[in-house]
Amino acid sequence: MLALPAHDPSLLAGGTSGPRALRPLLDTVLGALAEGAAARCGPLPAGGPERVRDRLAEAAPGPALPAHGAGAAPALHQLVRALAEGAADPADPHCAAHLHCPPLAVAVAADLAASALNPSLDSWDQAPAASELEDRISRELAALVHPAGPEPHALITTGGTESNLLGTLLAREHLAGTADRPLRVICGANAHHSVHRAAWLLGLPAPQVLPTPAGVLDPAAVRDALLGLDALACVATGPAPALVVATAGTTDSGAIDPLPALADTVAAARHGGRPVGLHVDAAYGGPLLLSPTHRHRLAGLDRADTVGLDLHKLGWQPVAAGVLTVPDAAALAPLGQRADYLNAEDDTEAGLPDLLGRSPRTTRRPDVLKIAVTLRALGRTGLAALVDRVCAAAAEFAALVAAEPGLELHSRPTISTVLFRPAGATDAQVAAVRRRLLVDGRAVLGRATVRRPLGGAPALWLKATLLNPHVHPSDLAALIKLVLDQHDGTDGAPGTDVTTQRDPGDDHQ
């Protein structure tokens, strides 16, 4: 093999010679990933933001855009190694703060092909096979969610945020809100912040937020809120249109709103003549559908008008892999757009698929490829096994916490999130434990301010979101020991900077 071409950083990734240009660079990348992970030696780099800044400056000194290039291999090696060394790596069993999954190797390999081929899903002439694949996979994923729908279909999104925005947009368009009688969004205090952002971006009134003291939406409160909208409606214009947004898998605790009762509430209001929609934000919980063991928790999901689910959470995809499903493809019509250079009417009439209505974005990555490869590689049983494993790991972790007198368990996990705290700790101590583990590079745990299941004031909890299907029981026990040691080590020990400094904004987000 000729050694020379690999060093020319202007070589292209496509065509028959692309793979030849890529192969040596991939070796460089894989080597740098391995070296960086070994240098980090843990779930995240030790030393906090300052140390990370210094290490990055050392690894890649000088200007980002030097006068003369360093060449492909050196640039790749330097920066990939530095990023890996400074990564919070969700493949480490002690990196468990967020809905930040360790991606499957097979999905990452597929994503490389997506980058190399670079199809753009805004017109058929940029993505002939990719657009066909997206259509097929979207329909099949949507049929999982809405098996009885007339023509289930889905959009591939960047994630829950975009899915919530599009679900709200479709409701606004279908429910005929007007300037003097806009769509009212009703959601729980447990809803994701992006629901509020969606209303704001779409120029709608701020959502009506219902308290969720039990952690989930109360259907009776939703019914009352819908009835309460009448006070706002004027006789001439009829009842105000509304969108109920429920959550299947809250970000803080993984709780699932009572979907069947909420669907009943929405159906009753509709029956009473009110234009109401139901959007379910199942960004986290949606993939439970893949598991025969856990699927029943999503009963009622099929009755929603729109459902968002993320495969970059319980789906082990690299970001981004969001999906917004509808029971009937016709519901997506409001997103249609014309731009002569992308979907001229005569081209569409002549049979070229019109893709512009499949996203509010224009240039768009084929995120569907990694999803399609993963579905095919693992199949239903393979994916169900991964879902079941992380749910089992969470149950096991919760059992270990419950058996440990030094810790308090919030509740049995619904999906794979476990909230716990050192027994008797103050909120400031809980926050300090989390921060110290982060800064020392020993564990990445999340935080959530929620009430105890039996009520009382909200308290700060440590959050373990278990998304690593290969986590071992001994990893879970070690994580518990890290928290206990950290708490014992800092409890009442003045002079340790992080514990004694209380950040006033810290305890209540």
Ligand X SMILES: *Cc1c(COP(=O)(O)O)cnc(C)c1O
The contact set with ligand X (CB under 6 A) reads 99, 159-161, 192, 194, 247, 249-251, 281, 283-284, 310, 322
State in angstroms the smallest separation of the CB of 132 from ligand X: 25
State in angstroms the smallest separation of the CB of 159 from ligand X: 2
Nearest alpha carbon to residue 245 among 295, 210, 270, 287: 210
Residue with tokens 């039990």: 214
CA distance 449 to 5: 55
State in angstroms the smallest separation of the CB of 35 from ligand X: 30
Of the pair 250, 374, the CB lying nearest ligand X is at: 250
CA distance 99 to 161: 13
Residue with tokens 């014309």: 338
State in angstroms the smallest separation of the CB of 4 from ligand X: 42
State in angstroms the smallest separation of the CB of 98 from ligand X: 8
Of the pair 433, 444, the CB lying nearest ligand X is at: 444
Nearest alpha carbon to residue 306 among 196, 191, 142, 167: 167
Of the pair 250, 486, the CB lying nearest ligand X is at: 250
Nearest alpha carbon to residue 107 among 366, 388, 369, 313: 369
Of the pair 134, 310, the CB lying nearest ligand X is at: 310
Of the pair 247, 468, the CB lying nearest ligand X is at: 247
Of the pair 142, 314, the CB lying nearest ligand X is at: 314
State in angstroms the smallest separation of the CB of 129 from ligand X: 26
CA distance 186 to 203: 15
Nearest alpha carbon to residue 389 among 292, 471, 296: 471
Within 8 A by CB and 6+ apart from 167, the residues are 198, 243, 245, 279, 281, 305, 306, 307, 308, 324
State in angstroms the smallest separation of the CB of 320 from ligand X: 7
State in angstroms the smallest separation of the CB of 350 from ligand X: 37
CA distance 224 to 222: 5
Residue with tokens 């409160």: 221
Give buried/exposed letters for 370-403 (b at 16+ CB in 10 A, else e): bbbbbbeebeeeebbebbbbbbebbebbbebbee
Of the pair 161, 265, the CB lying nearest ligand X is at: 161
Asked whether the beta carbons of 78 and 59 are under 8 A apart, the reply is yes
Asked whether the beta carbons of 148 and 182 are under 8 A apart, the reply is no
Tally of CB atoms within 10 A around 456: 9
CA distance 282 to 309: 5
Of the pair 22, 321, the CB lying nearest ligand X is at: 321
Nearest alpha carbon to residue 81 among 39, 133, 143, 53: 39
Of the pair 278, 432, the CB lying nearest ligand X is at: 278
Stretch (H or E) spanning 458: strand 455-465
State in angstroms the smallest separation of the CB of 302 from ligand X: 18
State in angstroms the smallest separation of the CB of 56 from ligand X: 25
Of the pair 145, 433, the CB lying nearest ligand X is at: 145
